[in-house]
Amino acid sequence: MSQIAINTSQNVNINFTTASVGERMLAFIIDLLIKVAYAVVSLYLFFSVFDLGYILTGLDQWSQMAIYIAITFPIYVYPVVLESLMEGQTPGKKAMKIRVVKIDGYQASFGDYLIRWVFRLIDTSFAGVVGLISMIISKNNQRLGDIASGTAVISLKNNINISHTILENIHQDYVPSFPQVIALSDNDIRIIKDNYTKALKIDDRQVISKLSDKIKSILKLDVDAVKLTERQFINVIIKDYNYYTGKDK
């Protein structure tokens, strides 16, 4: 397994271990078994339980194919739907503890998952040989869909989960100051906290100042209205996010 340095919007590199070809293949097999099980159950219900096979009688080949596609439709959209709902994972990926992420450090969007799904038609051609070769020769074990969408699949094993790095202890009577933080994501707070922690260690006041200004700009806060030092402000932002999202619970 290789390392991938994800460059965040604050120009900080965070190293992750890319998922190996073996891990991705095992995740694919687990997902495939789930899809096969769905197909078997749905067709069994259609033909045996509900006895709807008569519907196909007298239909031409294309009409029959359309009905089969309708019955098994969830199988075709399985990857893009579940990756969107499970933040870059499918049951197979979750079992293998791997996840799809953007190389720029942000959470992948539905559009990114959709691009990966569209390119899956190419990646799985020739019994998956195209995607396999792409993962082997690419720098970050990326298949064509990953390259096109600017994503990579990372391993979460032996690493702190992305959301864990944003945890902050806050008292039950804590009163938040900036409700605007709900516009941020777990990834945004992780990046903020990672930058801030590193800057504190070396007392890099310039980075702290730029980070504070960046947060105020993103949240559209009036700079003059924030009556806190830059360090106090960043601390409050992190705690406010934990308060509103319940990350400490």
CB neighbour list of residue 120: distance below 8 Å, 6 or more residues apart: 79, 131, 145
Q: Could you tell me the pLDDT band of residue 175, with boundaries at 50, 70 and 90? A: confident
3: pLDDT strictly greater than 80:
no
Q: What is the pLDDT of residue 69?
A: 95
160: pLDDT strictly greater than 60:
no
Q: Could you tell me the pLDDT band of residue 247, with boundaries at 50, 70 and 90? A: low
150: pLDDT strictly greater than 60:
yes
Q: Which of 4-8, 38-42, 82-86 has the lowest mean pLDDT?
A: 4-8
Report, as an integer, the average pLDDT of 54-79: 94
Please state, in angstroms and rounded to a whole number, the distance separating the CA atoms of residues 170 and 79. Answer: 37
Please state, in angstroms and rounded to a whole number, the distance separating the CA atoms of residues 97 and 155. Answer: 6
Q: What is the pLDDT of residue 5?
A: 65
CA distances from 88 to 55, 61, 165 (A): 38, 37, 18
Please state, in angstroms and rounded to a whole number, the distance separating the CA atoms of residues 215 and 194. Answer: 14
76: pLDDT strictly greater than 90:
yes
Predicted model pTM: 0.64
Report, as an integer, the average pLDDT of 189-212: 92
Q: Which of 6-15, 17-26, 48-57, 193-202 has the lowest mean pLDDT?
A: 6-15
Burial status of residue 145 (CB atoms within 10 A of its CB: 0-12, 13-18, 19 or more): buried
Please state, in angstroms and rounded to a whole number, the distance separating the CA atoms of residues 10 and 20. Answer: 28
